[in-house]
Structure 1
Amino acid sequence: MSKTPDTKRSIVFFLVPNFSMLPFTAAIEALRIANRMLGYSAYKWRMVSTDGKPVFSSSGIAIEADLPLVEERRFLSSDTRPDMVLLCSGINVEEFQNKSVFAWLREIYNRGVAVGSLCTGAYVLAQAGLLKGKRCAIHWENLPGFSEKFPQAEVYADLYEIDGNLYTCAGGTASLDMMLDIIGRDFGESLVNRICEQALTDRVRNPHDRQRLPLRARLGVQNAKVLSIIELMENHLAEPVSLLDIADSAGLSRRQIERLFRQEMGRSPARYYLEIRLDRARHLLVQSNMPIVEVAVACGFVSASHFSKCYREVYNRSPQQERADRKMTLAASRAS
């Protein structure tokens, strides 16, 4: 439903330590330009942090908070109640634990306030229990750990998802797409087009557009058969498909597949398949607290010992060392 000229939407940006600047600033700029094009402040916003102190982004830039959470909570029953709350987070979001924030998110959602997230903020919403049975989006790098930890959430590698009063986006420039979708619902396509002109972007992308580059561009591979095989592999990481089944699916012989992969990828198909499974395992090790044996199973390994052997061969360290190094890095960042 379109807004009337005297209607305003109030948005709270809740800043989680190490939040990503790009999606945050993209969202703010979309609202700022909308106000400029409209000629009045149709959108207002404020920054909130747990303690009201500045919050450092992952780039080291600190953003001042307008309010601490305890004061923001008092606004829920007043005229300054927000229309929407957006969680802004980024790297190390798995380390964020705050029961007061989780309770606040549940309260505002249950009282009709739209709740959303930028970049990895869906992780915080899931921790608060808001994404059970809900469609959501998160940055592709965090998707493996998220889907393992929150199996009841319907997570997709989309740019953004809107499920009722829940708005989640994968971060980066997808934040601009989601905000333009929201602005378009409020004021129509004409305003969105004017904002796009100001922001030097030619369109609002479809929410279901892919996050990552197509395989052809990402890998620099042109052979359609190899691309289709790699896509099959990426879709079967937990339960690897045998090379014979891959050959049948591709309509090629094993020898032909071996030759194609040597030419295009510089390695055998078995080796490439192993590497992408280990890459997923690495993401799970650094993004979750899953037991190593569960990480092994989730990535298609028959045992933890076989997984550890393969991991060490590729990364020159054991899964245990990978996780220990991750904990040391997090401890050092908190100390600083």
Structure 2
Amino acid sequence: MSNGSVTNTFKRFEIGLYTFGDLIPDPASGTTISAQRRMKEIIDAAKLADEAGLDIFGVGEHHRLDFAVSSPPVILAAIAQATKQIKLTSATTVLSTVDPVRLFEDFATLDLLSGGRAEIIAGRGAFVDSFPLFGYKLEDYHALFAENIELLLELGKQETITWNGQFRSSLSDLEIAPRPKQPELPVWIGVGGTPQSAHNAGRLGLGMNLALLGGTPERAKPLADIYRQAGQQAGHEPSKLRVAVSSHGYISDTSQQALHEFYPYYSSYLGQFAGRKMSQAEFGRIASPETAFAVGSPEQVIEKILHQHELFKHDRFMLQMDVGGMPFGKVATAIELLAAKVAPVVRRELTR
């Protein structure tokens, strides 16, 4: 397949945010906010993003005491009532350990409450805590995902379904309600670094949400190529094969300010979930211009997004900034810079 044949056929390059709602002590004060306050800050961040003109807001799923969010559709339903236009997505739904019928009905309900703004990013997840919690075997990791994505997609096609599978009880001429406002709920596949996941997303004709959390973007380009090639080989129209990029990052007025402000929180985040803390020198290296780590001034983040677009021809960019106990005031300022200084320039450059 020639990559030159890939064009961005969508009216607007989408830029937004996602959060996992981690509950980590602020490294400066040593205090950890409550889950209730964290949820309120997530809703406030989404409201600010909506008012500032960003396009998409995602909420992740974890089942641990150091995260505030275990039920994305509930939080997203609250956000729907506080916002007007911004699209609302899971980021991601751990599809291997959720009942697809319940998932579809929850997001169909969200779609109705939001006026047609609901989406699902389905993935396998970076943590496995949901497997023992909901009674699934880790050795069935891949088979569960394959069966559940098949059923989830079938639920979107028909109001009444008959279905048989290996892990879930059979469905015999049963009604699936409510139906969403959108003719079809958008479903994306979350992809880390696995070529098979990229191939499956393309084969199914679903959007691919590429988690680009570090390293150089060039290393992930083969995943986009595999995705589009598999999609076209399966008979899907190239214009329907959408790519999104999700990254960690932070924006401030200058690059030095961004590095200085974000470092202690990101190091604390890594210490909690990766078991290691990062030196300032290492942090500076992973945030260098050639990496995907989107930390810097608005101009630097713009350059990174545009460079990635040359590689991936993606339609959407999502940034996670509220990590490691970062105070909401800093997050709010970074959201405003993303919306006012980054998004307009990126969109203008990509329409040329």
TM over 0.5: no
Higher relative contact order (CA 8 A, sep 6+): 2
**Larger Rg computed on CA atoms:** 1
Question: TM-score, structure 2 length as denominator?
Answer: 0.28
